[in-house]
Amino acid sequence: MDAVAGPGSCDRRDRCSLAPLLEQDPALGAYRRIYCEQHSDQCARYIALGANQIPADRLLPDGRRLPDPAREAEDYARARGIAPIPPDEPRRLAALRRHELLDTPPEASFDEITALASELCETPIALVSLIDAERQWFKSRVGLDAEETPRDQAFCGHAILGDEPFVVPDATRDPRFARNPLVTGPPDIRFYAGAPLVTGDGYRIGTLCVIDRIPRSLTPTQLRVLKVLGKQVVAQLRLRSSVEELRRRNRELTRTRKDMERTLLEVLNSDREEQSRRAFLSHVTHELRTPLNAIIGLSELVREEAGDDDPHARDLDLIHQAGRHMLALVHGLLDMASIESGVNTVASEEVDIVALVETVLALLRPAAARGNNTLETHVSADAATLQTDPLKLRQILFNLLGNACNYTQDGVVRLRVTAAPGAGSTRFEITDTGVGMTAEQLARLFDRFSRFTQSHVRATAGSGLGMTITRMLIEQLGGTIQVESSVGVGTRFCVDLPSAAPAT
């Protein structure tokens, strides 16, 4: 006997065609209905596979019209209270899987919502239910031990067919559910109310539902609460997806940064022509700047939505810091490239040192406060003005003082500006009581991409180019820099600048 539409039996429920099939006896030219032998009493969710294989208008030898498998499957499902498949099912399932939530561990952000729904709606059971192809799976559950149930038994399968809450006051009196195993047996459902979870692109992927073992109803206020809490579940889904996307992008950028640093070192130390080097740097920084700005902006937006108590808050802060670090690296590369290429010209104008120092300190006070550090400054009368480039001098002081704040905890960071020994020079002396540096670290201090980590000091996230650029700027201004440091004592920088910078 030749089967027209699928097998007459199955060994797995999730492979069962779940519909009445037609089988042909070629000798007689007749058809007869068959069902899955194992699941004929409970399976009928999908349209028969042979619906498009047998002409619907073909007549049987006795003159009767050939039965329509699709219609029979729908009638079979309707008689057993099985929810129809939504017309957008493939896209709906794709939207569900994009959230990467199925079979993940419990999360407090969802559990808090289900607990609140149970309490406010006064029901013993509350669930965040996600409707997969063959099952409903519970991301969060209160009052129920099961982690999932078959989809053909799911009340939530009906709830995702509309935008408003789906309510069943008494399942035993509803012909769709009176024979449902979840009604005739544990958990003995009588009352059900489910608010659909609608994604931003309009797909209903599940519900927030409340269940009771006695017939009842919700008050209008409780129904509104259920809808609002359902929207909060969707907001958590969106937040979770955003965090996962940010983590993914951050991992990619971290790999890119490491590759880029290796390549840059090769390029900067190579014998390539200057024009080729500048073109390479310009290309790399351009390629990184756009995704970095996107990550920083998205992390700020999601962080603002999350609030300080959200479990993802720390991850979002780390992602934001990593993005800022990468952007600082990009800007540092641009600065370094412009200095090396000679595009970065030097201005020469009279600078009010007291005013410039105060501007730098105003920017650094928050960083000093985070480390519980004290900032001290002194500008001697004979060093109150200087003929130099104010923007470059400000960047030099900001880099050196900022570095001192980063590596000092509960200490003092000092800046003294005096007339340097020798004719026509001004000395900027920056000292701190921080962790200090070893001889090996001092030897690498001005190398590109050098960063030092101290376990007992809060994490620093420099680009690794700050000190390199600082020395290049000092040399552009015709000056010199010296450094002394002792581990556990602190560090001292001396920058000597001529009274008049060489303008270009």
Name the residue ranges covered by the structural domains of the chain: 2-79, 89-218, 239-341, 349-498
Predicted confidence (pLDDT) per residue in 115-174, tens digit: 999 999 999 999 999 999 999 999 999 999 999 999 989 999 999 999 999 999 999 999
Q: What is the mean pLDDT of residues 248-268?
A: 68
Residue type, position 371, single letter: G
Of 53, 42, 83, 309, the residue nearest 176 (C-alpha) = 83
pTM of the model: 0.50
Predicted local confidence at residue 317, as pLDDT = 72
Predicted confidence (pLDDT) per residue in 428-448, tens digit: 999 999 999 988 888 888 876
Q: Does CATH number 1.10.10.10 belong to domain 89-218?
A: no
Cis upstream peptide for 105 (omega within 30°): no
What is d(CA 75, CA 54) in angstroms, rounded to the nearest whole number?
A: 19
Q: Could you tell me the strand order of the sheet in which 425-432 lies?
A: 374-379, 412-419, 425-432, 490-498, 480-486
**Which tokens is 263 given?**
């390549």
Cβ-based neighbours of 89, under 8 Å, separated by 6 or more? none
Predicted local confidence at residue 468, as pLDDT = 85
φ, ψ at 345 (rounded to 5°): -85, 165
Q: Report the percentage of the chain scoring pLDDT > 90.
A: 42
Cβ–Cβ contacts within 10 Å for residue 482, how many? 10
> In CATH, what number does 349-498 get?
3.30.565.10
- In three-state secondary structure terms, 487 is coil
pLDDT reading at 194 higher than 90? yes
67 versus 410: which is more confidently predicted?
410
Fold match between 89-218 and 349-498? no
Q: Report the percentage of the chain scoring pLDDT > 70.
A: 62
Predicted confidence (pLDDT) per residue in 17-29, tens digit: 433 344 443 433 3
485: left (phi over 0), alpha (psi -120 to 50) or beta: beta
Q: Which stretch of 76-90, 289-303, 466-480 has the lowest confidence by average pLDDT?
A: 289-303
Predicted local confidence at residue 462, as pLDDT = 54
Q: Are 67 and 22 in contact (CB under 8 A)?
A: yes
Cis upstream peptide for 187 (omega within 30°): yes
- Tally the C-alpha atoms within 13 A of residue 374's C-alpha that lie toward its C-beta: 5
